[in-house]
């Protein structure tokens, strides 16, 4: 709620994690400012990632949204994403996530799903589809449930390395000069 929208925004909240995953970002995570250990761990992983990283931080603001994330913490709705571990949450990890035959995700009690059918998180999956589906589990209206952790962390060549490799293809000075001459006198130039 703000002065320009005293009843709160009527728009559906923007999901930066889903946007980054849809663009196939190579490192995408979400954390919470009040969970210092998780925040520190997530930011260290983002800094260690070779390439660009996006970390969404749910941050409390005492002026504009004080207590906005309290329902998430109180209801134990933080779905902690840990690579290689089953996706479970809630009191005593009694709730879990499973993948249905059509590829969609379902949240249900672990007793109903069965421990053998729980989704195991793979942050290193080349295809971002599963990470994108996990990002959609956020309950954007009341924010009582949200995945927290590293959604995706894959290695791909970065622009800096690719540009250096491209420059390295010119072995001698004459090849470099020929390439520059071709750029200056090539088909993409004109005279006025």
Instruction: List, for residues 49-103, the tens digit of each pLDDT value.
Output: 999 999 999 998 888 778 888 877 776 788 999 999 999 998 889 999 999 999 8
Look at residue 160 and give its three-state secondary structure.
Answer: helix
Predicted local confidence at residue 24, as pLDDT: 93
Q: Considering the chain, what is the average pLDDT of its residues?
A: 88
pTM (two decimals): 0.81
């Amino acid at each position: 709620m703000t002065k320009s929208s005293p009843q709160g925004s009527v728009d559906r909240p923007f999901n930066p994690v889903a946007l980054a995953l849809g663009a196939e970002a190579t490192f995408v995570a979400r954390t919470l400012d009040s969970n210092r250990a998780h925040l520190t761990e997530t930011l260290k992983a983002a800094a260690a990632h070779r390439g660009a990283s996006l970390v969404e931080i749910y941050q409390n603001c005492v002026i504009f949204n004080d207590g906005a994330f309290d329902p998430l913490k109180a209801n134990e709705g933080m779905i902690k994403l840990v690579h290689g571990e089953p996706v479970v949450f809630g009191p005593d990890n009694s709730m879990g996530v499973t993948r249905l035959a059509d590829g969609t995700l379902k949240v249900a009690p672990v007793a109903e799903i069965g421990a053998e059918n729980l989704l195991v998180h793979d942050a290193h999956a080349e295809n971002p589809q599963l990470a994108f589906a996990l990002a959609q589990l956020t309950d954007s209206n009341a924010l009582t449930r949200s995945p927290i952790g590293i959604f995706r962390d894959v290695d791909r060549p970065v622009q800096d390395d690719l540009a250096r490799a491209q420059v390295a293809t010119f072995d001698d000075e004459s090849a470099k000069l020929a390439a520059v001459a071709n750029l200056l006198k090539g088909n993409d130039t004109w005279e006025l």
